[in-house]
Amino acid sequence: MEYLKWSNQDGIATITIARPPANALSSGVLRELSSILDEIEQNRDMKVIVIHGEGRFFSAGADIKEFTSLSSSEGSVNLSQTGQDLFDRMERFPKPIIAAIHGAALGGGLELAMACHIRLVGENTKLGLPELQLGLIPGYAGTQRLPKYVGVARAAEMLFTSEPITGQEAVQFGLANHVYPENEVLEQALKLAGKIAKKSTGSLKATIQLLNYAKNKEFYEGSKKEIELFGDIFVSSDAKEGIQAFIEKREPQFKGE
């Protein structure tokens, strides 16, 4: 593994995103995560998964520099589809997945966290979907999962403004389960995982299957439409300007094209 580390102890598989400086979710990270899930799913000794980030962040988002290598709508659609397939698999995964979030979970990083079954956050953690700041939209079903947790009005404000919320607010709004001091999040996640690992694997799997019935037909229609619109917007002039402005660390100048 080049970007991820993982270990198994006492039935808890701990996956660490280790791609400095911001643990950006490149296509390589997504491939490695999928490969690790393959192995965990086949190992009966691994009962719960904890995902966290190494260094200052959980994940500050997608790899924007990688976007510059995508020259067509087809490439961006494939990227969106890959992420959505992986995150949908995580939400349906037969073993509970806990996200231990510190520092920041932005863009694709928050979409990854929202695909986990439980989220623990640090007090000062920043969580948000800032894609509109780049002239883009979320592509990993963020527009569909965020309203499910925080409501449509709150999700609209977060998306339209690109402004993140704090860990405290995430719990208040229903996006996270518990908030802790930043340096205690992983410890608390492992403690919670230990409690869950004592449960029957059969009952855990059945419960996850039942929880997924809460995803209605509109969710799947919406996530499919998100892929289509992500591809359309990705090749727009505004998206090109937003991506370039991000790389150059300046404010984008959007022209509505």
Choosing from 91, 131, 169, 226, the catalytic residue is: 131
CA angle centred on 127, ends 125 and 133, rounded to 5°: 130
Domains assigned to the chain = 4-182 (3.90.226.10)
248 is catalytic: no
Q: Which region among 132-146, 172-186, 215-229 has the lowest average model confidence (pLDDT)? A: 215-229
Residue 8 backbone dihedrals phi, psi, to 5 degrees: -135, 125
Q: Which region among 75-79, 100-104, 160-164 has the lowest average model confidence (pLDDT)? A: 75-79
Average pLDDT over residues 79-90: 96
Look at the block and give the residue holding tokens 């009005």. 153
pTM to 2 decimal places: 0.94
Q: How confident is the model at residue 215 (pLDDT cuts 50, 70, 90)?
A: confident
pLDDT of residue 51: 98
Burial class (CB in 10 A: 0-12, 13-18, 19+), 83: buried
Choosing from 111, 163, 169, 226, the catalytic residue is: 111
111 is catalytic: yes
How much of the chain exceeds pLDDT 70, in percent?
99
